[in-house]
Every structure is written in structure tokens, then in C-alpha cells.
Structure 1
Amino acid sequence: MRILKHVVSQRRKCAFIIRPLHDSAGYMYEPRYSSEQQKKILQILNDSSRGNLAEFAISKTRIERLQKFLEKNGPFRDLNEVLEVEGLSVKTLERLCDSIISDKEQVKDGSKKVVGRLSRSGLVIPSAKFINGNVVKNVVGLHVNRSVISWANLSRDRELLHWDMYELPSGIKNHPCHLYEVLVDVKKKLPQADLYVMEDVRYSLQHLSDLLFHHIRTILFMLLNNDQNVSCSSEISHRVFFLRHLASARLFERLVGNEKVSAQSVVSKILETTFQNSVSADCSLRITYSAKNSVEKELLSEALLLTVSFMDLIVLKNIKELS
């Protein structure tokens, strides 16, 4: 074991190649990417800051491990060396590589060509390729927790059409039949839209409360995505999407570390007509919102910011916001 550790530590000084420990089959990993793609991937991994790497499909913990590895050993020379980073499997590496390749697009800004991370593919599930923004007239954003579902219906012209919430019955049973009955009632109260969006929240299924949350979102997804009574464009094949966790909070600069601060102050700004990216709302919606208590305002605010984020980033492909 000591000899093996010594050989691995001398990996970069040797003329031969050590087989990565991640390859359970016992063979050297053979990348499925072209040489040009591999060159681009290695350039991004070697030259990007922690903040830039966070835009791709990789966790903060693995970013830290990548950076520490680079500081200690120098730039990666091939993808097999990347697999030497602790906790980086072939599957994780390929997911990261895929996000890097799909995330490099070129757009024209006047006569100047700008290269940036303008791809929407890593921001939503299913892929943004299923979204034709030209045919989307309105979006409903759903903020779901274990006791309340709040929503905001926003048109592509940034007009707030509907803004409300539904309090789930206290002591709701975590059983498919009971949840289905409750959520069918919720669906009846939701406004019709071309697309629906929820945040792709991270949770653990080891706790019963998280399992309930998972079931609520799953049943809602099925009800909305398979609604045959809604007349929408034939070009819309998927109707329910999940926006990347904390993407909305990052867009509106509401993150302190990994924690979100209140959304109410941001909502107050975007409802002002003098604000650059304001949202127009009927007087009755403003009055209803003002009459809510602080907790209810926060739930409604989360739903609105989620909807605005999805509309700007995914539907309208606002380059300024994406960059």
C-alpha cells in the first residue's frame, strides 16, 4: 500500500501512465470527446475561477477539490488526470464535461463577437431545447413547500396576471390517493399557462417530511404536464420544468453564502414602474399582496421571482441576465 501511494504521488514525474482508481473495470478511461472538445474542457478547468466553475454541472465541494489539486499539482494535461481528484467519478466528470461543451455558444453583439456561457441547457430540467420561446405567451411559477403552494402567472410582456397561494390541509397524509385528491383541487385553482416552473430543490428522502415534499412535487408535475384539456401550441412538447436550485436567488443577488435572504425587498423594487426590469401588476393584486402577513408575502415573493427568472433566462433568453 505504501509503495502504491508513493507511485501515485509521483504520477506526474513518471513517463508512464498510472491507471486511475476510479476505473472499476481496470482500464484507462477513454474520453468520448473529440481532441478539440478535450482541449476546451481542460482550458476551462485549468483557467476558470471558482465562481466561473460554479456555472457548470459541478458541486461546490468538488470545485474546491479541483482547485486544491491544481494548486498542488499544476494544470491538468488530460481528462485522466482530472479523475485523480478525490470524489470525481467518470459519471461526474462526463456530466461536467457535457455542461462545458454545451455551455459555450457564440452570439453577436453588434459587430463584436462575444463568447460566453449563454447556454440554457444547464439551468433547467428537462433540457431547454424543448422550449421554443417564440410561442410561449405566459408562465406560471410554483413555489412549493410542505404546507403551502404559492404561484405567479407572468406574461412574456412582464405583466403579472395572477398571484395567489393555496394552504395545504393540516395533517395531510403522505399517501398517493390522499395527495392526489388534494392536488387535483390545487390544479383547479391554478391559472392555465403555456409553461410551468418549479425550483429544483435539493432534499434528502431519508426524512418523512422530505418524502412528502417529493410526492407533492411529483404528483403536481404529472397533473400539469399531462393535462390534455389545455390548448397550447403543438410546438410545446414539455410543459413543466425545474429551474436549477438557487438560480433565481443568484440572479437577484439574494445569496449570503449558501443561504437566501428575504425576497420581499426585491419584489418591492420590481413592482415599481421606475425600475428598469419592472413587472406590471394590477392594483387589486398589489392590494392583496400588501394585506398579507410577512410569511405569506415571502411565499408569494418567492413564486414571483422564480417566474421572472425563468421568463428572462429560459423563455426570452435575456443575454444580459444569462451572462
Structure 2
Amino acid sequence: MFALLYSTRIYRNVPFRLNVTRSFNVKSSTKLGFPCSYTDEETRKILATINEQGVEQLYKYDISKSRLKRIEVWRKKFGKFMSLDQVLELDGFGITILRRFYDSIINSSKDNVEIASKVIKKDPSFTSPVFPVSLATKVKSCVSLYIGLDFVTWAKFDIIQKTPTVLTGWNSFAIPDRKLHISDLIRVVSQINQLIPKADVYVVENPAVAQMAIGGSAIKTNINVQKSQLIAMIMVILTNRTKENTDIPENVFFLKQYISARLFGIYVGNERVSCENVVRSLLERQIGLSEDSINQIQSKLTVPSGLKVLYEENQDAEREFLGQSLLLGLTFVRLCIVECKDSLNTLKK
């Protein structure tokens, strides 16, 4: 008995080294309620699907990406699955989940590529709350804000169908102190609110959670808290602004942290680096894609000369904040409003 168990273990760990002819087990295991559930033909179809299709193809069926990753790892390590119940050996696969996965394979059309692409497309959610696709054509203007310890900056975009996006406003407000009393902070936020232009939607980067600084510095902790308070106050005020476009029920969206840095190639290692070179390229060359599809045209940016001068007149630190607010807004437009394919593909890399 011991020898039998030992030889079985060796076989499982190094199946590719053994010169053994393997055949599919189409006789279903009773663990999944077979053979009542699936015929031999259906079993062969399921095995062929999970053994031969890539992860993106399998994602059109009823299964999560994390479980598909485990299937991919198994196939690379051990080769093909020999029976339907063998998948139960993977972590995260129970009988209910596996039956649902197999049923979706049986009930779907083998060549339905259109359905597959639609399912894959639903995966990315770039904002919180999720920006509804149905609102994309209704948004005519957007203000993106970049909120830091020393400055609050914002950029306003006018969005017109089938034409390049236009930067119509770009400004900043200097925070007088990193350790303001709450009453002073309220006055600062009130001033900022008067300066931020009205728009259909407002976008800010999802903030990091305020927490105790390393080493327990009370000063650093208070600074982190002040930034969180500043973001919360500004977004509450913007949420309660009178909505000019009643077709848009929610007007404040938090863009995923660092997603703009990733899109524009300024996320190096685990840090965001300066955006100045990218912004200058946008201002000088009006970066846009060569083809003229509608989403590529709208992905392009038009910047009035007066706003270019405003950018150049600021000091380095303030210019960096202005640039970050510009990239946040462009990211929202390209991913959520226009759904630019090149931008979406960039984030998949």
C-alpha cells in the first residue's frame, strides 16, 4: 500500500517525465453527480475547453479570473486535466462552482466570439462609484482635481461628440499651512469651492487611507489627516452642488489610485514620478493618435494658448500639481467617456 501511494505521488508531480500514454476519462465521477449531469460528448467538450483554451477565452464562461489563474498554473505544471473531477484538487474549486463553470461551457456557443468580447470588456472598473456606460454621451463637461498637502489644482474639460476634448480651465489654490485648525480648514475649503468651475461631473484620485506615520510622528499623522479632511470636505461640497444636467444622478467619481500615472507612463516601481515631460508633450505637440476613429479624435486634447502660458508662469511644485490634475481628467475622459481602445490596452500590459 505504501509503495502504491508513493508511486502515485511521483506520477502526479512529474507527469511530463514519464513515458506513459494518458487518455481522457470521460466516465464522470460521482463527486459531481455524474453520469446523470453530462453525457460522454459533453464531458469531452468540457475537457477540450479547459485544456485547450486560453485564459481570456475561458473568461467568457461563468468563472472568476483568480480561479482561471489556478487552472493555468496547473496546466503548466502537470499538463492536461484527465477527468472532470480532477479540477476539484485546485484551491477555490467546490462542487457548486465547478458545476456552474461546466454548465456555462455546455450552454454557450463554441464560436460566439462577440459574447466573449462583451464579457471581457466588463472587467475594468476605473472609478468608485462605477461610472455607468450609459452616461458617457450625456457628460458635456468634467472637472478633475488633484489635492495635495500644499496645493489643490483642477482642470476643466469640455467634451463634445466627435471633436477633440478641450481644456477650458486650469487653476490652483495654495494651502497656507499643513497644520491648519479645523475652522481654518473650513474657510480654505469655502474659498476653493468658489473658484472651482461648475461641471457635469467631478473627478478626484481615490485617496490613500490616513494612518499613523512610521515612527509615530504626531505632526506627520496630523498632516495625513488634514489631507483626508480636505478631500472629504471638497467632495461633499461638490456633491451637493446644484446639478445643471439632471440626466446625471451622481456627479462625483473617485478614479483608481495611480491609474493616470500608469496610463501616461509616470508610474515607476511603486512611485509616481514627475509628469512635466508628459504634460509638455501634450501642450506642445497636442498628443493624439494617428487614426481618425471617433474615440481617437475625442482622446486628443486642445489647449488654448492662454492656459499654456499660465502653466509656464508657475513654479515647479505648483506646475507639477497642475500637470497631475490635467492627466487625471484626461484619464477619466479616455477610459470612461471615450473608452479609447489604445488607452485600455495600455493598462492591460
TM-score (norm 1): 0.66
Alpha-carbon distance change, 78 to 37 in structure 1, aligned in 2, over 3 angstroms: farther
Tell whether 2:163 aligns with 1:133: no
Aligned residue number for residue 308 of structure 1: 330
Which residue is 2:68 aligned to? Answer: 43
Residue 321 of structure 1 and its aligned partner are, at CA, apart by 1.4
Match of 1:123 in 2: 126
SS at match of 2:63: helix
Q: Distance in 2 between matches of 1:243 and 1:120?
A: 16
Structure with higher helix content: 2
The Cα of 1:160 is off from its aligned counterpart by: 0.7
**CA-CA distance at 1:80 after TM superposition:** 8.0
User: Which stretch has the larger CA shift, 126-135 or 249-258?
Assistant: 126-135
The superposition leaves residues 140-182 of structure 1 with CA deviations (integer Å, 9 ceiling, x where unpaired) of 110001121011111224111011100012255242x432221
Residue number among 233, 245, 248 corresponding to 2:257 in the alignment: 245
Question: Tell me, which stretches of 5 or more residues in structure 2 are unaligned?
Answer: 1-11, 14-28, 32-60, 94-112, 214-220, 289-298
1:233 aligns with 2:245: yes
Q: Identity across aligned pairs (percent)? A: 23
Tell me which amino acid in the other structure corresponds to 2:91.
Answer: E
Deviation at 1:256, TM superposition (A): 1.4
Partner residue, 1:170: 177
Contact 1:252 1:266 in 2 (8 A): yes
Task: Choose the corresponding residue for 1:186, options 175, 192, 199.
Answer: 192
Answer yes or no: is the 8 Å Cα contact 2:142–2:199 preserved in 1.
Answer: yes
Query: Distance between the aligned counterparts of 1:206 and 1:317, measured in 2?
Result: 38
Residue by residue over 1:191-224, the C-alpha shift from the partner in whole angstroms, topping out at 9 and shown as x without a partner, is 1111111111324322422111111111111100
State the alpha-carbon separation in 2 of the partners of residues 302 and 271 from structure 1.
Answer: 14
Q: Please report the RMSD computed on the Cα atoms of aligned residues, expressed in angstroms.
A: 3.6
Letter in 1 for 2:63: Q
Q: Judge conservation of contact 1:124–1:244 (CA < 8 Å) in 2.
A: yes
Q: 1:218: which partner in 2?
A: 232
Task: Verify: 1:143 aligned to 2:146, yes or no.
Answer: yes
Secondary structure of the 2:121 match is coil
**Are residues 40 and 148 of structure 1, via their aligned partners in 2, closer, same or farther at CA, if it must alter by over 3 Å?**
closer
Describe how 1:1-323 pairs up with structure 2 within 5 A. Answer: 36-38=61-63, 42-47=67-72, 77=87, 81-82=91-92, 114=117, 117-119=120-122, 122-129=125-132, 132-156=135-159, 157-170=164-177, 172-175=179-182, 177-207=183-213, 208=221, 209-228=223-242, 231-273=243-285, 275-276=287-288, 278-323=300-345
Would the aligned equivalents of 2:261 and 2:267 in 1 still touch at CA under 8 Å?
Answer: yes
Query: How many angstroms does 1:130 deviate by?
Result: 7.8
User: Structure 1 78/155 Cα, relative in aligned 2: closer, same or farther at 3 Å?
Assistant: farther
Unaligned runs of 5+ in 1: 1-11, 18-35, 48-66, 84-105
Counterpart position of 1:86 = none
Greater gyration radius:
2
